[in-house]
Amino acid sequence: MTFGKHSPDSKSKIITGSPRSEFWTGVRDELPLQLGVVPFGLIFGMLGISSGLTPLQTILMSSILFGGASQIVFAQLWANGAPPFFVGASVSVINLRHVLYSASVAPYLRQLPLRWRIALAYLLTDEAYAVSIKHFLERPTNPFKHFYLLGAGMALWVFWQISTIIGVFASATIPEELSLGFAIPLTFIAIVTPTIRTRPDLLACVTSGGLALAGQSLPWNSGILIAAIGGVLAGWLLHHFKRL
């Protein structure tokens, strides 16, 4: 399956598209990703406590911020005694990428009532976005497709909160040797790899990876943002010049 192209073997084709079926298809498609999310939540819960956050601060951060990578960075910087402004700026820079997600789903959700747009915006994480944009591109005319994002987002939210809470209270019992944090890059590898179909796709991926590596030592994890924008730009340029 890929972003932007139809895939004839898509499982979702058998769903006719009522609100309920869209919601539960979203939940179902989000479930496999929890194999990466749950270890990440456990790691965050453990890291929060070892960084000197209280259990309440750690647990509520998972629902207030609701962004795994940025929460990890928050805890790490806090543990290192970084100044509050620096912590806030880093988290914000990492989460700037959500503007891109917001823009990407906007054509499909723009016409919804405000309360829907607020709820779906809150639930618009990496993993919920990844499954939803695929679904939207495959079924752009489905009138209930926003229920799919609601289902995927709520499933992720529940697993993220529960795994954070378990991480907080079981922090002493989960051995570091399991390297459970590695499940997160593995999830992203599993999402990205099959979507690379064209040369512009490949160039976007290689450019982004190269820039992220080169920018590793930049302050405020700004390398991530630069790499993302650079990757999009490189893919778009190649796509554009092929068309000319």
Partner 1 sequence: MIWAIIIITGLFTFVMRFVMLSGIAPRKLPTIFEDARSFVPIAVLTAILVPAVLTGKENNIMLLDNAQLPAAFVAVVVALISRSIVITIIIGLGALWLLKFMGFP
Q: According to CB under 8 A, which residues from 154 to 193 bind partner 1?
A: 177-193
Segment interacting with partner 1, rule: CB under 8 A, options 12-20, 156-164, 167-175, 218-226: 218-226
Rule CB under 8 A: say whether 194 interacts with partner 1: yes
Q: For the chain, how far is it from start to end, CA to CA, in angstroms? A: 27
Rule CB under 8 A: say whether 84 interacts with partner 1: yes
Rule CB under 8 A: say whether 225 interacts with partner 1: yes
HEC profile for 3-20?
CCECCCCCHHHHCCCCHH
Q: Note the Cα 74 to chain centre separation in Å.
A: 17
The dihedral over CA atoms of 4, 10, 15, 17, expressed in degrees to the nearest 10, equals 0
2 DSSP assignment: B
- In the complex, what is the shortest distance from the CB of residue 31 to partner 1, in angstroms, rounded to a whole number? 9
CB atoms within 10 A of CB 122: 12
| Rounded-to-integer distance, Cα 83 and Cα 102, Å | 30
- In the complex, what is the shortest distance from the CB of residue 239 to partner 1, in angstroms, rounded to a whole number? 6
Rule CB under 8 A: say whether 32 interacts with partner 1: yes
- In the complex, what is the shortest distance from the CB of residue 230 to partner 1, in angstroms, rounded to a whole number? 8
Q: Site residues for partner 1, window 100-119 (CB under 8 A)?
A: 100-106, 109-110, 117-118
Q: Which of 192, 232, 243 has the alpha carbon at shortest distance from 33?
A: 192
| Closer of 15 and 105 to partner 1 (Cβ) | 105
Segment interacting with partner 1, rule: CB under 8 A, options 11-19, 20-28, 96-104, 167-175: 96-104
Rule CB under 8 A: say whether 91 interacts with partner 1: yes
Q: Site residues for partner 1, window 11-30 (CB under 8 A)?
A: none
Q: Site residues for partner 1, window 124-153 (CB under 8 A)?
A: 124, 126, 129-130, 133
The dihedral over CA atoms of 55, 56, 57, 62, expressed in degrees to the nearest 10, equals 90
Residues 48-67: x where in contact with partner 1 by CB under 8 A, - otherwise, as a string: -----x---x--xx--xxxx
On whether the CB atoms of residues 168 and 49 are closer than 8 A, the answer is yes
